[in-house]
Every structure is written in structure tokens, then in C-alpha cells.
Chain A
Amino acid sequence: MKENNYTSPPIWMLRFFRWFCHPAFVEDIEGDLHERFALLIEEMGLRKARRRFVLEVLLLFRPGLIRSINLFPELIHPGMLKHNLLITYRGFLKDKSTFLINLIGLSTGLACVLLIYGWVNDEMSVDKFHEKDSQLYQVMTNFHGPDAIETWEITPVLLAETFMEMYPEVESATLTSDRYLPEGKISIADQSLEANRIFADERFFEVFSYELLEGNPKQVLADQNNIVISEKLANKLFESTENIIGKTVEWGNAFVKESFQISGIFEDPGPKSTRQFDAVLHYDVVLAASDRWQLAWNTNAVETHLVLHEGTDIDDFNDKIEFFMWAKNPNRKTNRLFAQQYSDKYLNSRYENGIPTGGRITYVRLFSIIALFILLIACINFMNLSTAQASRKMKEIGVKKTMGAGRKALVWQFLSESILMTLLSFFLAAGFVTLLLPQFNAITGKELQWDMDPSAILSIALIVTITGLIAGSYPAIYLSGFKPAAVLKGQLSSSRGEHGMRKSLVIFQFALSVIFIAGVLVVDQQMQFIQSKNPGYSRDNVIAFQRPRNNDDLDVFLDELQRQPGVLHASNMVGDILTGWDDQGGFSWSGQESDEKWIFKSPKISYDVLETLDMNILEGRSFSKELQDDESKIILNQAAVELMQLEDPIGKRINHNQEPREIIGVVGDFNYGSLHHQVKPLIFRLNHWGRDILVKIKSGDEQNTIEQLEQAYQKFHPDYAFNFTFLDEDNQRLYEAESRVASLSKYFAFLAILISCLGLFGLTAFTAERRSKEIGIRKILGSSVWGIIKLLSTDFTKMIVMGILIALPISYLITRTWLNNFAYKIELEWWYFAGTALMTLLIAWSVIGLQTLKTARLNPVECLRDE
């Protein structure tokens, strides 16, 4: 009876146990398990007993009890492993040039992958350190203009608080701003420092995870008089971070000068943060200084950040908030809101028609692909050289198979060879990376370093293994498939398929190289074009700087600048001409088709700016001090004239917020902002109070003139350093991302072609060597050196030409897509591609030529005597 009552423990658990347990212990422990299970049932009933049983089995999963980790005992036999390593080692020794080619190829390939992996990893982790990253969103504004949708980061001030009240999905919200109040200085008794400050509200440190060293995140900004400063700033001001809570500092510029109490210290925002700041002040400081006009719903002034409750459907939420502004202000039908994940903004910061459509993510993808392809090119070298040299392994394989080696064992042998090769290359690559890292950081503007956390080690191990497997798989399958009888007789069944495979791999390699080179050429041309394109005004010898304080004495200051002998023009404006951010709506004109309000590009400039920038005045005149022009005068660009369809614009009036404005001049179209954007309709307004000074100086004596300017500057602003820039240098900075891509891709293209040529070199050398007897005989029979070179290089030439033919249309498509990022771009000329093709062919020929020439000039006696 007892036997019938016996209930077996869960059988799948027992199977699992039998699988992992060391064979010597299986029997008795399993017996114990049965016995224990019977007892457990008595004690706690079947269901609980089963659960306990599972736990018992899991607790048996320990290093001392499990079998040794050997999933393929027949393959990783210690003796076999040793044998394989020895054979591999001998192979390396015997054929040093192949070994070196593979080593150099794979290690440069791996070094590229490692560098790019580090870079991509770093890019992907920017702004992701916030604890609530997955819930952290920023509210963006889509402005639906009549002709296009523009996307802005800024929103009304009241939005954060209103959202918290209105929408249950919003857990918390904060606003930040670094606009509107000019940069100021932070000072204690005897010291005064320029500090990069932002304004935020009391929830800032709860929403964002900037670590506070001192102070409670909920309270540090509770009061308008509080200031939270960075560790760096604290150290600069007090030479310590201790005991400074509660101390008073002054912060101020021309508009505000107040005392603030230090309420907290935060860790410096590291390189992983896009937001960089030294001090946080309460936004009420701005409100107090700006007379609270910013509280209006029709003013976009701050960035609004939301923490949404976990599990909020972001699409639903976006549907809810889309027309929020319409409800608040009927004139703002055009402004539609949406929330974008905060950390997503770093990689996806380009908007087309109001939808994020890429940005840095494009380069992240691009470089990931480039790295993979370079590695692939290196792997192909390995494949080709291994299979090409099959004849050397023939006897070995034949003998092994005759002795009973299975195909699996042979596959494993070749795979272990390729993995060992990759491992060696990895160590070399690690050396390269260590050497190149400072250089790489300089090009990319990153602060990468060897950071050995478990996930990095795991990924690197994965990269190495996969590379080894890719490189080794084809040779392993191909070589292990030899028929022992045939190969021992010396017949290498060189099937058409194998030869075709090798050919197509070479074609693939060169196709990739050609794409890289063509890409680099086009990127380079485009960058040169951008740097040198005439923007419609002159940036040469224009110095730009900002006045740190109020402009009461502006006329005196400008006069002083003007008096310096090296100065041609001195003027001022609001903002700058290069970033082109100043937009203004509310213009209307007669003949306007509908009551749509257009947003115009609308920089506010003072007298003499047009002259300083040497703009082309087509009709009318510039703003003039002598004629006492005031705000009622405007100057249009040509695009604006065309938009308004004005026949004879000078003297015509248009309205700005119901106030009449007289057009006094028309300037030729110029690029306000970067060349990523088309010239848009633009209206110059007159504003005499801009603090951004532009000075045109005479060429030839820049150094002296700058010194003169500095002295003048110091006279007016004794506390402040004279920080100036040249406009043309600023302009180059606009294209920093592209410049970086351009210089990085140059290196990568160089590596791609280098590795491809290495492979080609190896293959030619091998072919030449194998055919050395044939060549000897041909020479004896009267063949010329030239004839032999032709004989040897025809095959390779065909492959390379094939690769080029495949690559050209692809590279045309790719470069054209890239160029579409720019509103102003070069035409793709045929010679870019022809030049690339020719260059590739020449490089390849020189590699082949060297090798074949050597063989062709060999004395036939040398290769024919040993038989």
C-alpha cells in the first residue's frame, strides 16, 4: 500500500537537479530529496511541500555540488585544448606575415569598435542619471506657423504649477530658466566671481537628481533669498565646502543686486549632464526684476519639466495637453504643447513638423555602423587568408579525420584558433585605445576613460567572442568539410563556390572602403563650402563681446570704442547674428491674404550694425542716428519683401501689434542663423539697448587694436574680464557636430582602406607564392615581367572594379541623404565619385603591384630548383 501512496516530487525539478549535479553525488542526494519530500508532505501538505522542494533543489545549486562547467565535454577536453593551442601557435610561427596581417587588421578593427562603443555608450547615457529618468518629461511648444511648424523649448511661467493642479498624471513639475536676467557675479567680502547661474523653482532638486552635499532637496529653494551653489564654486569662494550653509553672498548684475543665503551645496553636474550650472537661484528673483510681466500666458519664458506618475501613457497625456494654450489664450491657437522625455532630448533634438526626427542619434547610429563594418572588413581578411591557405592545412585535416576526428572537433579547433587570434588582437587593441584615448577625446569633446565596470567587461568579452566566431565560422565550416581521402591524395577540391565566396568577400570589403572614402570626401567638401560660403554679410575682422551691465552710458562707451585707431565701426544689438534665435510675431500688412499672423525672424539692432557687418543694402538706407530714427522704422530683407508682395517697399507702412512701422530700407538676403536653415523673411527692428557689441576692426593690426579695445573696456568695466570672440570663429563653432564627424570619419575611412589593403596584400602574396612554379616556367618560356604582373593582377583588379561599381550608387544615395540636413549644400559632382574610384583602384594596384613585381622579377631558378 505504502508504495502506491508514494507521491513523486516535481519531476521537472528532479531533471534539472540531475542535469546540474555532479555525477558522483546524484544518486544519494536524489534519494535524500525523495525522503525529504515525503516528510515535507506529511508536515505541510502537498502544495507547500512542492514549493519547498523547489527551494531545496535550488539551494543545492552550489559550486561544490554542480558538475564542472563543461557543456561540450568532447570539445573542451584539456588535452585537445592544449593540442589546439600548440597547433595554432605553430601556425602563427610558420606563417608570420599572415599572422601579422590578421593581428594588425583585427586589432585596429577592435580598437575602432572599442572607441566607438565607449563613445556611443557615453552619448546614450547623457542625462539618464536622473532617478526619475523614465518619468521625467519636458513640455515643448509647437508653433504652427502658416508655412511651417517650429518647435520651441520654452513655455509660459505658470505652466508648471497649473499642470500640477490640473492633471492628475503630473506627480511634480518644475521650471528652469537661464534667460532674461544677464549673467552676473557672485561675491563675498573681498572676492567676486563670474558664476553660471540658472533660475528654478523650489521643486528643482526633487525633480532632477543633482546630488546635494548639504541641504534638503525639498527645502533648499524654499525661499526667494536662497541660493544653492556647486561644490566647485563653494571651493572657489570659501576654499571649503564645510560650514558655509547660512552664509550670505551677493549676487547681482546691472538690474539686480541682492544678498542671498546659501542653503545648499550640490555636486558639480558631471559631463553626463547637458545642463551645466554653478548656482541655482529662485525664479522669483527674475519675476521681481522683470515686473512680473512674464507671468502672462502669452509669454514663453521658461522651460517646464514634469515628473509623470509611473505608468502614464504619454500619448494620451500629449493628447490632453495639445490644445492647453488655446484654452488659456484664444490668440494662442497656434501654440500646441507636447511632452518629450527629458533624456531623449539630447539625442533627438531636431524637429521636423513638430516631431523629433533625430539629431545626435543619427551620428550615434552612423558611427555604430561604421565600427561594425570596419570590424567586418578585418574579419573578412581573416576568413580569406584562412581559406586561401587551405592547402597548408590539407594534410593535417586529412590525417586527423582518418584517425577519427569528428567534424565538430575540427570546427572547434578552427574556432579556438580564431578566438585566440581575436583575443591577442584585443590586447593590442586595448593598448592602441589607451594610447589614442586622449586624441579621441580631443576630437569628440568627450571625457572617456577605461572604465571597468561589470557591464563593460561583459560587453567587451561579448565583442571579442562574437568577432572570433564571425571571423572563424566560415573557415571552420569550410576546412572541416574536406574529404580525407581526397585531401590526403593532394587534391584540393577547389570548388567554384568557395572561390566565389572569397571573391565576393573581397568585393564587399572594397565596396565598403569606397563608400567610406566617398562619404569622407563629400563631408569634407560640404564643410569647406559651409565655412567659406558667403552668408550675405562679412564676418571678417568682426569682434563680438557682451557688456556685463546696464547700458546707460552706451553712447559714451561706443564713442570710446570708435575712437580707437584700429576700429572701423562699433555698434550693438540684442542677441547675435549667428544663432538667429530672435523671432517676433504680430506683424500685419495691407494685402495680407488672411489674418494669419506670421512669425518673422526679427533681430533688434542699433545704428551702424548693418555697416559693421557690411550688409548689402539694396534699396533705401540703414538706420541713422542723425535722422533720429526710432522704433517706428524697420528694415526688411528681400525674402520679407517678396512675402509681403510689396512693389515699392521704401516708405510703405506695415503694422506691428497695431502700431505703424515704416520701411526705410531693404537688405539683400543673408543667413541669420546657421546654414542648416533657409533664409527666412526677416525684419530688422531698431533697439538701442542691446548689450551685445560688434566691432569691425582694420585688418593687419589686430593685436594692437584688441589691446586698445581691452583698455577701453576696462575703463568702463573695471571688475570684468574682457571676453571677446571673433565672429568667424564663432561661426565655425556652429558646425561643431559636423566638423567632429568629418574629422572622425576621415580616420575611420583611412582605417577601412588600410585594413582592406592589408587583406589584399596577404591574398596576393599567397597567390603569387602558390603560382611561383607556374611563373618560373612562364618566364623560362619567355614571358615578360609585365606579362606576369598582368597575369597575377587581372583577377584582383576585376574584384576591385566590381566593388567600386557596387559602391558608387550606394555612396551617392548615402551622401545625398546626409546633405539634405543642410539648407545650403554642394552639388554632388561626378568627379567626387570618379576620384574615389580612381583613388581606390590606385591604392589597390600599388599594393598588388608591389607583391607581383617581386614575384615576377624572381629568377626562375629560385622557384624551380626544389622539386
Chain B
Amino acid sequence: MSKHRLGELEEIVLLTVAILHGEAYGIAIVNEMEERLSRRISIGALQIVLRRLEKKGYLISEFGEATKVRGGKRKRYFTVTNFGKQTLKDTKDQRLSLWNAIPNISFGN
């Protein structure tokens, strides 16, 4: 399990794809992240993470329909795979177990 560690940006992108559930393509992910986290990333930065996640098997992608708005180019929709979901859960559990291990005294309450 410890082998599959997610980077910070990777984790956020993976979560955003999960949130968008079936509607996750490049710009939608950028916008969603901007809305929720006030964090704007360039298309380049996002694409490189998406391709990496796809290569590692956390995501799969397929082309959608062509629209006129995008200069006639098709969208590529990303979906989280089961393996991706599992990794997300593992990551969350790890974090929680760490949180739970913090003695109360260190945060003052």
C-alpha cells in the first residue's frame, strides 16, 4: 500500500475528478479547483498530472462529443478507476490515523 503514494497536486486533482463525476475534462477541473480551493493552475500543470495519473492507473479517459465552442475539438473526460478510489481512501485513512495520533496537548485543546 505504501508504494502508491499520491503527491499533493495529484491527490487534489484526483479528488476534483471524483467530485465532477463524469463531467471531468481539462477546463472543468481547472474551474472546479479554482472555485473550491481558490487555486488556479495552468493547463500545462494540470495536463501533466492527469496524464501521469492515467499512466499509473488511477484514471481512465475517453473522448466526448465535439462542440463548436471549443474550436470544434472534442473533450476528453476523465473518470476515477477503482484502483484510484482505493488509493484515495488509503490516503485519507493514513491522514486520519495521523490526525488521531496527535496528542490533544499539542494543538492546545
Contacts and interface: CB of A to CB of B under 8 A. Distances in A.
Interface of A: 3, 6, 8, 25, 27-36, 38-39, 55-56, 58-62, 64-65
Given A36-B27, A36-B30, A27 B44 contact: no
Interface in B46-75: 47-48, 51-52, 63, 68-71, 73-75
Contacts of B27: 32, 35-36, 39
Contact of B26 (A3, A8, A31): A31
B47 A29 contact: yes
B1 interface: no
Given A35-B27, A39-B27, A56 B44 contact: yes
B45 A59 contact: yes
27 contacts: A8-B71, A25-B47, A27-B73, A28-B26, A28-B75, A28-B76, A29-B26, A29-B43, A30-B73, A31-B70, A31-B74, A31-B75, A32-B26, A32-B47, A35-B27, A35-B70, A38-B69, A55-B42, A56-B42, A56-B43, A60-B42, A60-B43, A60-B47, A62-B44, A64-B47, A65-B48, A65-B51
Contacts of A35: 26-27, 69-70
B26 A34 contact: no
Nearest to B49: A64
A28 B63 contact: yes
A34 B69 contact: yes
Contacts of B43: 29, 32-33, 36, 56, 59-60
Given A34-B69, A36-B43, A59-B42, A28 B74 contact: yes
B50 to A, nearest CB: 9
A594 B17 CA distance: 99
A737 B70 CA distance: 72
Contacts of A6: 69
B49 to A, nearest CB: 9
A712 B51 CA distance: 88
B68 A3 contact: yes
Nearest to A59: B44
A79 B9 CA distance: 39
A215 B45 CA distance: 47
B87 to A, nearest CB: 20
Nearest to A60: B44
Interface string B87-102: 0000000000000000
A801 B46 CA distance: 71
A contact face: mostly helix, strand, loop, or mixed: helix
B71 A31 contact: yes
A35 B25 CA distance: 11
A29 B42 CA distance: 12
Pick from B25, B47, B69 the residue with the most CB of A within 10 Å. Answer: B47
Nearest to B68: A3
Nearest to B78: A28
Contacts of B48: 62, 64-65
A25 B51 contact: yes
Contacts of A36: 27, 30, 43
Contacts of A28: 25-26, 63, 73-76
Contacts of B45: 59
Contacts of A62: 44, 48
B63 A34 contact: no
Top 6 nearest A-B pairs by Cβ distance?
A31-B73, A32-B26, A28-B76, A59-B44, A31-B70, A60-B44
B54 to A, nearest CB: 11
Given A27-B63, A29-B47, A33-B43, 13 more contacts: A25-B47, A28-B63, A30-B73, A31-B70, A32-B43, A34-B69, A35-B69, A36-B43, A38-B69, A56-B44, A59-B43, A64-B51, A64-B52
Contacts of B52: 64
Contacts of B73: 27-28, 30-31, 34
Given A36-B30, A64-B51, A30 B71 contact: yes
B58 to A, nearest CB: 15
B59 to A, nearest CB: 13
Contact of A34 (B25, B30, B31, B70): B70
Contacts of A61: 44
Contacts of A29: 26, 43, 47
Interface string B1-45: 000000000000000000000000111001100000000001111
A65 B68 contact: no
Nearest to A35: B27
A470 B25 CA distance: 51
A65 B48 CA distance: 7
Given A29-B26, A64-B51, A34 B44 contact: no
A56 B69 CA distance: 19
A112 to B, nearest CB: 47
A85 B101 CA distance: 61
Of the candidates A38, A59, A61, A62, the one having the most CB atoms from chain B within 10 angstroms of its own CB is: A59
A65 B69 CA distance: 24
A672 B27 CA distance: 85
Contacts of A39: 27, 31
A457 B5 CA distance: 38
A494 to B, nearest CB: 56
A225 B10 CA distance: 66
Nearest to A24: B51
Contacts of A55: 42
B51 A34 contact: no
B10 to A, nearest CB: 13
A34 B67 CA distance: 11
A56 B74 CA distance: 19
B9 to A, nearest CB: 13
Nearest to B64: A28
A793 to B, nearest CB: 67
A596 B26 CA distance: 88
Nearest to A14: B71
A3 B42 CA distance: 26
A61 B47 CA distance: 11
Contacts of B26: 28-29, 31-32, 35
Contacts of A27: 63, 73-74, 76
Contacts of B69: 6, 34-35, 38
A28 B74 CA distance: 6
A32 B78 CA distance: 14
A32 B25 contact: yes
Contacts of B30: 36
A55 B41 CA distance: 12
A426 to B, nearest CB: 36
A480 to B, nearest CB: 40
A35 B43 CA distance: 11
A484 B77 CA distance: 53
Contacts of B70: 30-32, 34-35
Contacts of A25: 47, 51
Contacts of A60: 42-44, 47
Contacts of B31: 39
Nearest to A29: B47
A141 B31 CA distance: 71
B27 to A, nearest CB: 4
